[in-house]
Each structure stands twice: as C-alpha cells, then as structure tokens.
C-alpha cells in the first residue's frame, strides 16, 4: 500500500498549504495519538522543532491532536533532530516528533516521527497512522502538557560525554541560523575548543539562507582567511555536517566516511547511490567493502542493520554511527571525526588530498509531476544511452523525496563529458515535463 502523506522523511510541504495546514496537522496529531495510545499505556510524546516561524503554529496543532487522544506531550523547544531522537530513547518516551524541513527554505516545514528507540517509525506504522486519518476520533480522554526545561542541557551533556578533548583547536562554525545555533558552539566550547560561530541569530526566516551545510561558501572564506584549524557547517535541523579544511576546501560526507572507515577499521561502509566513485575505489584499495542504497538515511539505516555494520551515510553529510546513536547527528559526527583525526595525527587537509573525487555534477530540475517524468520510458532510454557513452561513469536520475524536483546526477572520467551528459538529460526531463 502506497503512503499518501509520508515521504522518505516524514510529512513535508509548504507551511500553511496542504498538507501542512493547521487543520490537517491537528488530525495527524489525533491519528498519531490514537496509534501511540493503542501501542503504549499512558504514552508520552516529545516534540522538538527548528527555528522556522511556522514551527509554533504546527507544534500547537499537532500537540492539540495528541492531547485529544490522552497523550502526555512534552515540549522540548528548539532542538536538533538528533537531540529529539536521543531524548526519546533516553527518557523512555513512546515517540518523538520533530517539526522541521531540514535544509529546505524557511517556508517549507515537515513533521517527522521517531519510535521509542529513537529510530524513525517503520513504514508499517506510518501506513497505520495514515489509515487512522480516515476515522472519527473520540475526545473523551484528554492528555497533559509540559515544557521540558532540561532538554537542551541533557542533550549537550550527552554530546560532551561522546567527544574528545578539543583543547587548543580553533574552529569556525556555521549553525545555519537553525536548531544547532546554541548547542553546537556550547558543546565545542565545553570540550575546550576556541569557537568562532556565525549564522547564530535565527529570526524565523533566515534558516539555511545562504549558509549552513548547503551554502558553506562564507565559512570556507572565514576558515582560510582566519587561519582556523577547520570549519564545521551544520544544516537547519542539525543532522548533517560538512567540514572545511585549512585551505578552505570542503570535506563532504564521503570524506567523513573515508576518514572514519580507515581510522576506526570498519568492516564495511554503507553509502547511497550519490556517493562519489572515488570513495568506492579508495575503500576497495583498503579492503573495505562499500554497500550502496537508495537516497535517504532510512535506507542507509536499514542496510546497516541488515549487514550488521555501524558506519554509513550520505554525501550530504548525514552520517550514522550506530555504535553511538540511532540516527544521524551533525554535532556528534563532527566530534567523532575530529577524534579520528586526532588519533591519526594528520590534519583534515591530508585526508582531502588522499580522496580524489571523480567529476560529479548534480542538477535539480523543477517539474510538475516528478514521478511521471522519472517513470517515462523515454527517460530510461536516455539514461541507458548516457551510461553507454560514459567510460566507467555513473548516471542516477531520481525524484526528490521532499520537493517537486527531478535530480540528475552524472559522474565520469572528465568534467567535460559529465557536463555534456547532464545537459542532455536535463533537456529530456524538461521536454517530458512539458508534455504533461
């Protein structure tokens, strides 16, 4: 059965427009409340959010729905997504909810659920909640609500306990005007680092705007010109991190996986189809197998569990260390990677040099119906021709899980060849969209 509202990362959309209207979110809260009440006695649900101006509206509607089904609601306030996941497990809650659209612009928002172990709800649970949306709800049971005053402190204490000493380290940090704007600097400072933090003044509308892990250009200049040891850029909800070396060069999630795989002697690594071929080649040389999945951290997580491995992630900087946390955590990933760098004794720049990347171009094409375009036989034939013309290259065309986009990724031996193929596939996508 196909999911109607839940995508690869919760229910997403433009805040105030279907499906993220207050009326729908109220019903979603009722459906989720009915589900959790059927699976736990006197369930407690934690709610956290990022810094978007629409967060309060959606939080109020969702909480009202949950309360109407007898659920106890604990408001965590602004907290990174992994912080909500951690506290859901640590406090023994029936579920956790994050109101965030991650790296998307401020007008977007989303609602993502975690189960009692701090992991994302399985597809079966989301389908059951969607089915419950069709029923009428009794409001005979009324829950209670509380503001959890210690949520941020508990999460910071957890991260500090996981991190190495950072004494003497000069770190530039970009918190994307998002959920890590307090947590990130405080954690690094408590571990002894000298921190220069930017984009730490959220106003509800500036989250991810020209900053964060998707726009690290300012941070790159700051690191290089300010002679910092490295830079750290988080995304809006704090589950991703991108690093910057002394020379101002980016170290993506692929670099993070490579560093930790070699230093921590991983038995294998899980990555998505978007990870660069350079990572696969270098891991193979080190005798470490790479397993690829569809794009999405839930698929990385499932493959890690299936293979019994603990290290996996995405090129975007969403990395999982299942021996430390049940979900991706940008601050934790930065700390564990710094720990690996300190153990190895070389700076980040040496690892950037050690992992040559194949030329890769990703183009996002906005379309009216992403699924119709991606499933069209003409696009499949264009992809087949493109792959045949790329010697040792890769082509990946897929619908975005969160936006009305078709993502075209091409990787190959030369940048000229890659850009030629991307241009041709982009043309095909636009033509098919125009035929709708």
Question: CA 169 to CA 167: how far, in whole Å?
Answer: 6
Q: Which two tokens stand for residue 305?
A: 């569990």
User: Which one, of 247, 266, 235, lies nearest residue 336 by Cα?
Assistant: 266
Instruction: Specify whether 102 is catalytic.
Output: yes
Question: CA 362 to CA 23: how far, in whole Å?
Answer: 37
User: Which one, of 47, 46, 61, 76, lies nearest residue 15 by Cα?
Assistant: 61
Is-contact 111 25, C-beta < 8 A? yes
Q: Is 235 annotated as a binding residue?
A: yes
DSSP state of 410: E
Catalytic residue among 37, 102, 213, 316: 102
CA 67 to chain centre: 28
Question: CA 273 to CA 255: how far, in whole Å?
Answer: 15
DSSP string, 315-340: TTS-EEETTT-SS--HHHHHHHHHHH
Q: Which two tokens stand for residue 48?
A: 């956290």
Q: Is 239 annotated as a binding residue?
A: yes
Residue 436's CB is within 10 A of a number of other CB atoms, namely 9
Catalogue the active-site residues: 102
Residues placed in the known binding site for Mg(2+)? 102, 235, 237, 239
**Residue positions in the annotated binding site?**
102, 235, 237, 239
């Amino acid at each position: 059965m196909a999911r109607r509202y839940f995508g690869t990362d919760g229910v997403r959309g433009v805040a105030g427009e279907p499906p993220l209207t207050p009326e729908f979110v109220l019903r979603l809260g009722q459906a989720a409340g009915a589900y959790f009440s059927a699976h736990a006695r006197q369930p407690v649900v934690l709610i956290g959010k990022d810094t978007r101006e629409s967060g309060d509206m959606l939080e109020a509607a969702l909480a009202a729905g949950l309360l109407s089904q007898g659920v106890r609601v604990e408001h965590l306030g602004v907290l990174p997504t992994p912080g909500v996941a951690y506290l859901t497990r640590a406090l023994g809650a029936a579920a956790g909810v994050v109101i965030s659209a991650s790296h998307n612009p401020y007008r977007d928002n989303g609602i993502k659920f975690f189960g009692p172990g701090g992991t994302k709800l399985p597809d079966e649970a989301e389908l059951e909640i969607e089915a419950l949306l069709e029923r009428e709800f009794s409001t005979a049971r009324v829950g209670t609500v509380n503001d959890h005053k210690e949520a941020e402190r508990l999460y910071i204490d957890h991260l500090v306990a996981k991190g190495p000493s950072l004494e003497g380290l000069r770190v530039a940090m970009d918190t994307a005007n998002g959920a890590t704007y307090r947590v990130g600097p405080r954690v690094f400072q408590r571990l002894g680092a000298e921190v220069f933090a930017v984009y730490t003044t959220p106003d509800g509308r500036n989250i991810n705007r020209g900053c964060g892990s998707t726009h690290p250009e300012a941070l790159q200049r700051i690191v290089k010109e300010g002679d910092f040891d490295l830079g750290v850029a988080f995304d809006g909800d704090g589950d991703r991190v991108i690093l910057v070396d002394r020379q101002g060069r980016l170290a993506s999630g692929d670099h993070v996986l490579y560093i930790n795989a070699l230093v921590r002697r991983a038995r294998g690594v899980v990555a998505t189809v978007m990870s660069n071929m350079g990572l696969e080649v270098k891991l193979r040389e080190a005798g470490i197998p790479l397993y690829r999945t569809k794009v999405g951290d839930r698929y990385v997580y499932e493959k890690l569990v299936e293979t019994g491995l603990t290290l996996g992630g995405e090129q975007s900087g969403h990395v999982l260390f299942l021996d430390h946390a049940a979900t991706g955590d940008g601050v934790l990933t930065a700390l564990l990677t710094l720990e690996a760098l300190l153990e190895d004794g070389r700076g980040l720049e040496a690892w950037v040099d050690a992992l040559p990347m194949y030329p890769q171009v990703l183009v996002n094409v906005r379309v009216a119906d992403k699924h119709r375009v991606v499933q069209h036989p003409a696009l499949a034939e264009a992809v087949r021709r493109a792959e045949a013309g790329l010697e040792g290259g890769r082509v990946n065309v897929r619908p975005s899980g969160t936006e009305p986009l078709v993502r075209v990724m091409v990787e190959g031996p030369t940048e000229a060849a890659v850009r030629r193929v991307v241009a041709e596939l982009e043309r095909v996508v636009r033509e098919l969209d125009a035929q709708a």
